[in-house]
Amino acid sequence: MLRQFIEGGAEESPHGHVDNDKSSSHPYASYPHEMNASDYPPTCAYEDSVYDRLFGPLGCAPVQDEGLGCSLEVQRIKFIVGRALKAYLSSPLCLALLPLLIGVCVGLYLGRGRTVSTQRGSSKNSKGGALASISDYTSLVYYWVGLRVAVLLMHIVPENISSVSQQFLEDVRDRQTRTELQQKVEVERESGVRDIPRHVAVIMDGNRRYGKQRYGNATRGHWDGSRTLVEFAKWCMAEGVSILTVYAFSTENWDREPAEVAALMSIFVKYCEELRVEAVKRGIRIHVLTTEDERIPSDVKAGVNRMVEETKHCEQFTMNICLSYGGRGEIVHACKGVVRDVISGNVSIDEIGEGHMRDNLLTGHCPDPDVVIRTSGEERISNFLLWQIAYSEFFFLKKQWPELQKSDLIEVIRTYAKGRNRRYGK
């Protein structure tokens, strides 16, 4: 009866859902990490949970739903009963004492009734004293039965309502976590703007120059650059960015000195392991985008595959790493995919549009970048996401990539929100 009362509440109210990655289902919530405050539902909106479907959210008075035809009085009664039920389910002491109290009452009632009945019979019998003694023992038996019933209820009742109470308590904890996360976001979001770019793409330029200038060694610059990438991803998550795409190694980079390429591949092997651990801990899903994977060494491929496989369940943030990647090569591969669709009869030539091309791109799982950042003072695209950045906002920074600070990202976000007017040709 208790389960039926709890689960028989009002119908669910629909909620919108924004999916940052169409290859995964989203939630966040789980621990939604830092999210836009607007991503959270209003404080008094109904949630799809056992408690909310019946009594509304915590801290809110019950709201009358005209579609359900419930009177205000019924809603008030549900609210009061719901509060009492919440107090009962959340207290282990109450869960234990209520069955015990029921059992004691049963024993007292049965024992008292038996005693009164026996005493009435004894008044008509010359052996009333002996019968009275027998009735006392009978009462004790009934009391003992009542206690056994109490013990039995103490085991049965919690088990029967355990699933309901567990779901209820999880709903309460989930709501409290959401509130804390929302407050945390409002405190930590340093940009102070609401129009946050959803997708940021970065050309990480200047690692070699930085290494030569600071250490006299280009390879050390690449190591510092890899650490900056991890920090940059954290900054993006704290500011509410959902997707980060980075240009790690282009198809043209294979033409560099063999010793430098070998050093870079060695860095990638070690870096994949470090990034995998960090990504799993922070809920970052990693995609590796490549147009010439046959040139990637086997040890790098093994590290990349493990990193991608072990983060595919993560949903808090998406990171695309362009490795052995070229924008022109990606368009060529997309065209081949469209041709295969035409040959197989899935689409006719006249039906081909931008959507078909977009679906065959390596970034088909995410929207186009809102912002493109290039460091080191260079102002060119360098064969990076040629299709996707058609209407992106560009920011060319003078700093080398390892020198980047969070304040640089904050400035980009503020300029994007307040200083850029995205007209899309209109």
- % of the chain beyond a pLDDT of 70: 58
Q: Across residues 157-167, what is the average pLDDT? A: 54
Q: For 86-95, 209-218, 268-277, 294-303, which range has the lowest pLDDT when averaged over its residues?
A: 86-95
Q: For 1-10, 63-72, 265-274, which range has the lowest pLDDT when averaged over its residues?
A: 1-10
Is the per-residue pLDDT at 227 higher than 50? Answer: yes
Residue extents of the structural domains in the chain: 2-182, 199-417
Is the per-residue pLDDT at 131 higher than 70? Answer: no
| Side chain identity, residue 10 | A
Q: What is the structure's pLDDT at 126?
A: 45
Reported confidence tier of residue 41, pLDDT bands at 50, 70, 90: very low
Residues with catalytic function = 205, 253
Of the candidates 327, 326, 320, 281, the one whose C-alpha atom is nearest the C-alpha of residue 304 is 320
Q: Across residues 393-413, what is the average pLDDT? A: 97
Reported confidence tier of residue 77, pLDDT bands at 50, 70, 90: confident
Residue 165 near residue 338, CB atoms below 8 Å: no
Is the per-residue pLDDT at 205 higher than 90? Answer: yes
DSSP secondary structure code for residue 27 in this structure: -
Q: What is the structure's pLDDT at 215?
A: 93
Reported confidence tier of residue 270, pLDDT bands at 50, 70, 90: confident
Q: What is the structure's pLDDT at 212?
A: 93
Structure tokens at 96: 């234990």
Is the per-residue pLDDT at 357 higher than 80? Answer: yes
Is the per-residue pLDDT at 397 higher than 80? Answer: yes
Is the per-residue pLDDT at 291 higher than 80? Answer: yes
Q: Cα–Cα distance between 149 and 396 in angstroms, integer?
A: 77
Q: What is the structure's pLDDT at 141?
A: 67
Structure tokens at 309: 């496989």
Q: What is the structure's pLDDT at 57?
A: 44
Q: What is the structure's pLDDT at 53?
A: 44
Residue 118 near residue 134, CB atoms below 8 Å: yes
Reported confidence tier of residue 45, pLDDT bands at 50, 70, 90: very low
Q: For 263-272, 330-339, 369-378, which range has the lowest pLDDT when averaged over its residues?
A: 263-272
CATH 3.40.1180.10 fits 199-417, yes or no: yes
Reported confidence tier of residue 271, pLDDT bands at 50, 70, 90: confident
Q: For 145-159, 290-304, 327-341, 409-423, which range has the lowest pLDDT when averaged over its residues?
A: 145-159
Structure tokens at 163: 């699933």
Q: Which residue has the higher pLDDT, 82 or 132?
A: 82
Q: What is the structure's pLDDT at 150?
A: 65
Question: Degrees (nearest 5) of the Cα angle 8, 13, 18?
Answer: 135
